[in-house]
Structure 1
């Protein structure tokens, strides 16, 4: 379907070509009996052919090349038709045949309609028709092929970018699987050992009640760590189960874990974090304000992680200090704040603390992805404060993640996965398209050195040949016109210098012979010549009184003398 701009453009071009064709036929049409009919018919024909040139480019070119000899109004249309045919005719052979036929028809009909000398034909008809028919077609075809190749390159580049993104996604997925496997093999083993040994130590009869309670806290912490490790491994492995496991079997399982209560990983789980810290002997206060509101799964989990990180940092850097956790339900967001006072002087502040410095960075990134913000810094009393603002609604464009415990987490649906377009292979291997196979036919042909060199050579050769022909024809035409002008044209002062009654031989010696094609047809519409006189008609070097008239000088001889000289204008 054409766009509104294309429709307007085609309509204007059709109207302009029709008006130009009709205007060019006005002089010839007024001299004929059916002048008005001819003018209207040529204008409508030009407009119709202009509309059909996109559908039937070869036919329109042949029709206009054939008819422009009889109807001069089609001269402008033939250039437009040649341009359109160069773009739309498929195949080099078909295009070359069509343009050769159009050129031959135009040149042959020109010779048949107005047979001139061979020199005149080679000088004017050949280069003029070459410029009107062949040159527009060549330029249009080159421009169209260049635009097509540019579009193909642009599409191919977009395809490469998409496939590069898919390859990077596959590499990330394989790396996540490798990390998940390492975590499963190393951390799972050590956490399982901790759980087993603390479970055995908990039932030791030599322990006091206080010690047994502390060991129980350690065992519950190891079990909770195993649960979290299982969640992280499941996320990293993108829903792909490890060998020997099933969707219902956890990847990491501690002895007796199946009977333990799995703590919540949302706002509700903050209570368990507070209880665990209190059991360890830390004074922790939990405050609530505002009316509780449901949170998206990602924000709910971020609130839990933020409270967990705040408690962890307080335990590590300010052991024994009082901790306050506050949950404030604001109108548009939940504010989670964890603040601790300065560490007591009796605490062992100089002990070694394992800290990678990544906890706060991870919390900030997790909160940023859901549209929230985090603030962390010291307080006025020497303590530390960690606060996060978590919006109730996920930001636009961010798909909510699955809550912990869902069946599976994947990056794409089970059907229509774009990653299936590329077969999986070892990391670093290229895919067929990247390696250069399977290129589009036009692009492969354009990228071939042999084809490129031959195409450039052919194009340069054709362009050089056309340029050489135009230069040669231009030089020949200039020389030929100078010679023909000397044979058929005189200046007004030469006309004034001749006197009636002078001998014919003396007058002819001063004037050109008039044997030129420029002097042909000058007697049409001229005043009657004297009876029995032989007249010589020449053109004037001056311009006529209008664009359609030419000044003419006529000399008539009889009995060896000049008996009459007359100056008048004729209509070409």
Structure 2
């Protein structure tokens, strides 16, 4: 079924061809009935040209000889046939048959026409049939090749995305296994030993409290390690619904979202650090990934404060803005300078910034006016898929690796050297077919131009010869004593580039006379001699006429 736009377009085209065909027949003084019939037939053939391209082309070519109303239709159906006739050989055969049919019927219909007129008509028929057909065929092959390349490009991108995804999954599984085997074992040993040390009777109350903090920290670290391993293995963190527990199946596991920030603060207080939490605004739920990112911002801020500013007071701020949650962790100035041997991985803030970017937020870190340090994160309430309400658009890592296209922008990846054999053969066949078709078209056009040039040259020569050449009978009809005016009116004026004068061997002209020299239509006695007629006038009368051969 045709779409509505094509139905409207085909209707208007059929009406235009029908009206043009009827109008052309009326201009040729045909009757109204014939004009209406030709118009209706042209409109009907236009509707059939998609399903029967070869048949409609032959019918239009045959009808264009006796009826000029089929001329506009012939251009349209030639274009359509060039697009829709399969196979180069079949297309060449159909177009050759159409041209022969149109030229033969034109010669039979215009039997009284001279050979030059038939040659010119043949050139026009050739241009009317071949040029639209070549243009339609080139457009069709180019579109088919472009569609094939687009399909192959889409398949290539899908395959590369699958390869990248599989490689990422394997690497994540390897990292998860290494973390589980190494860190899990070490954290389990720390938890066991601190648990045993906590019940040692020789410890004081303050020491036992410090050991309890270590044990809780090790247990929390084990839970976090299990969460990270789960995320690396199957992405459970990204797929879990908002508000779902982040600690796995253990109901006693700490929360890894905004709800777990109080536990982080309490753990720091047990370590002897003053921690204050300030909340403002109406509490709103966050997406799971953003909720986890807020927890990590506070965790990283507390870790950095304990590491680089021990003993300094820490303030945690949670501001619920209309479009985002602002999380701040700020510590006061350091009381004593820290020794240079404090270990720092240097990747915490970088990883935190990337985590925030992936959820459409941002992170800022820097010193405060009083000499302390501040870490802040802006996290949107919406998911990163809603680009209108996020602050930083998440990028597609795979697309970012695509090489720049012709315009300098990253575009789809097309490796021409890696085309599959089927597509390479299709491209080569299309190139050869286009080359043959274009070569034939160029040769035909050159032939048309040459033939038209020869015909025009012959016509010009005939016209120039009429200006300077007369028959012997015309020469005999002129009598001496006639008035100069009557003689000149009866003869050509002789103003032509072909009339070079009497030439060598001409007899002398009478004194005081004015002569008109014309060529004879007869052939001279030799290749170097031309028969010439000369008429000399004096006092308004013809006083002499001579016939001679001149070189």
- The answer to whether the Cα contact below 8 Å between 1:123 and 1:476 also exists between their aligned partners in 2 is no
- The answer on 1:470 being equivalent to 2:470 is no
Q: CA distance change for structure 1 residues 176 and 53 in 2, over 3 Å: closer, same or farther?
A: same
Asked if the contact 1:122/1:473 (under 8 Å) is kept, the reply is no
The range that moved more, 158-167 or 265-274, is 158-167
Identify if the C-alpha distance between structure 1 residues 95 and 326 changes in structure 2 by more than 3 Å, giving closer, same or farther.
closer
Candidates 309, 316, 337, aligned match of 1:318: 309
Q: Deviations over 1:526-558 (max 9, x none)?
A: xxxxxxxxxxxxxxxxxxxxxxxxxxxxxxxxx
Q: Distance in 1 between matches of 2:356 and 2:431?
A: 58
Shift of 1:350: 1.2
- After TM superposition, the structure 1 = structure 2 runs for residues 326-345 of structure 1, keeping only pairs within 5 Å, are 326-329=317-320, 333-345=324-336
Q: CA-to-partner distance for each residue in 1:246-269, whole Å, 9 max, x for gaps? A: xxxxxxx9xxx9999322222332
Paired residues of 1:294 and 1:392 also in contact (CA < 8 A): yes
Task: Name the CA shift for 1:334/1:22 in 2 (closer, same or farther; >3 Å).
Answer: closer
How far apart, in 2, do the equivalents of 1:479 and 1:378 lie? 92
Quote the Cα distance in structure 2 between the aligned partners of 1:468 and 1:437: 37
Please name the residue that 1:19 is paired with: 19
In 2, distance between residues paired with 1:17 and 1:187? 82
- Structure 1: give runs of 5+ residues left out of the alignment: 241-252, 399-432, 513-572
Q: Relative to structure 1, is the Cα distance of residues 56 and 490 closer, same or farther in structure 2, using a 3 angstrom cutoff? A: farther
- Whole-angstrom distance in 1 between the partners of 2:440 and 2:323: 73
CA distance in 2, matches of 1:144, 1:269: 64
Query: CA distance change for structure 1 residues 44 and 356 in 2, over 3 Å: closer, same or farther?
Result: same
CA contact (8 A) 2:328 2:377 kept: yes
Across the two proteins, how many residue pairs are aligned to each other? 447
Paired residue for 1:302? 293
Q: Secondary structure at the match of 1:25?
A: helix
Deviation at 1:174, TM superposition (A): 2.3
Structure 1 range deviating more: 184-193 or 107-116? 107-116
Q: Name the counterpart of 1:444.
A: 424
1:225 corresponds to 2:221 = yes
User: Secondary structure of the equivalent of 2:29?
Assistant: helix
Hey, what's the Cα distance between the residues in 2 that align with 1:434 and 1:132? 38
Q: Scaled by the length of structure 2, what TM-score is found?
A: 0.69
377, 380, 396: which one aligns with 1:388: 377
Q: 2:76 matched to which residue of 1? A: 80
Separation of aligned partners in 2, 1:234 and 1:393:
24
Q: If the length of structure 1 is used for normalisation, what is the TM-score?
A: 0.67
Deviation for aligned residue 1:319 = 0.8
Tell whether 2:352 aligns with 1:363.
yes
Deviation at residue 156 of structure 1 after TM alignment: 2.5
- CA change 1:52–1:485 in 2 (3 A) is farther
1:74-105 superposed Cα distances (whole Å, 9 cap, x missing partner) = 23322222122111222223322322222222
Q: Secondary structure at the match of 1:110?
A: helix
Q: CA RMSD in A?
A: 4.1
**Pair 1:145–1:229, CA change in 2 (3 A):** same
Q: Given the alignment of the two structures, is residue 211 of structure 1 paired with residue 201 of structure 2, yes or no?
A: no
**Distance (Å, rounded) in 1 between the aligned partners of 2:353 and 2:11:** 61
Q: Structure 2: 5+ residue runs without aligned partners?
A: 237-246, 388-414, 480-486, 493-551
The offset of 1:334, in angstroms, is 4.1
